[in-house]
Amino acid sequence: MSGGLYVETRIRTDLDRLWERSQDPAQHQRWDLRFTRIAYLPGAEGQPRRFTYGVRVLPGLLVSGTGISAGERHRPDGTRTSALRFACAHPLSFLTEGRGYWRYVPCPEGGLRFLTGYDYEPRWGRPGRLADRLLFRPLMGWATAWSFDRLRLWCERGTTPERALWRGLGEVAARLLLVAAAAWAALPAAVPVLV
C-alpha cells in the first residue's frame, strides 16, 4: 500500500461519549463524510464485528463494501483502540482494500486526542495510483479532517453533524460569492476599453 493518511484532533468530551458516537454505525454515518451508510452484520457479542458500508457517488448509485472491526474497550493505560480492515469489489469504487485504526487517548488536562491512521490500495493500476496521489488521497485526508471537526463540534457544543455540514457549505458559498464579486469589481479596471 502507498503512503498512509493520518488525522488527529483534540475533543473535550468523555471517552464513553466519543466511543459511542464513533463506534455505533447509526451515529458514525452522521458525522463521517466518507460514508453514506454503515451497518453491522449479525455476529456473536465480543467477537470482531463484520460490517457493510456504502458511499453514494451519484443520486441513486451507492457503492458498497465490507469490513471487519475489533475494538478494545479497556487498556491499562486508559486508551482505547479500534482496528479495521475493509474491501470493495464494486468496479466504480476507487479503492480495492485497506486497513486502519482509531485511537482514543485521554489527555492529562482533560478531553481526548482522537486520531486515525489508514491506508488503502487504489483501483485501476498505474492511472489509479496517479489519480490517487494527485486527487483522491488529498480529498480523503480533507474529508477525514472535516469529519473529525464535525464530530468535535457535536461532542463539545451539541452542534449536530447535519447543522455543521450546512454551516460549512454556507460559509464556502459565501466566500465564493465574495471572491466572484471582488473579481467582477476588478474586471472593468483590468480590461482595457476599446473605442
SS3 45: coil
Return the CATH fold of 5-160.
Answer: Alpha-D-Glucose-1,6-Bisphosphate; Chain A, domain 4 (3.30.530)
From CA 106, how far away is CA 117, in angstroms rounded?
A: 18
Banded pLDDT at 78 (limits 50, 70, 90):
confident
From CA 110, how far away is CA 194, in angstroms rounded?
A: 66
- Taking only the tens place, the pLDDT of each residue in 81-139 is 999 999 999 988 989 999 999 999 999 999 999 999 999 999 999 999 999 999 999 99
> Cα-Cα-Cα-Cα dihedral of 36, 42, 47, 51, to 10°?
-20
CB neighbour list of residue 93: distance below 8 Å, 6 or more residues apart: 55, 63, 65, 123
- Taking only the tens place, the pLDDT of each residue in 151-170 is 999 999 999 989 988 888 88
* Domain ranges (residues) in the chain: 5-160
* Number of alpha carbons in the 13 Å side-chain half-sphere of residue 58: 3
CA 113 to chain centre: 16
Residues in the chain: 195
Residue 146 has pLDDT above 80, yes or no: yes
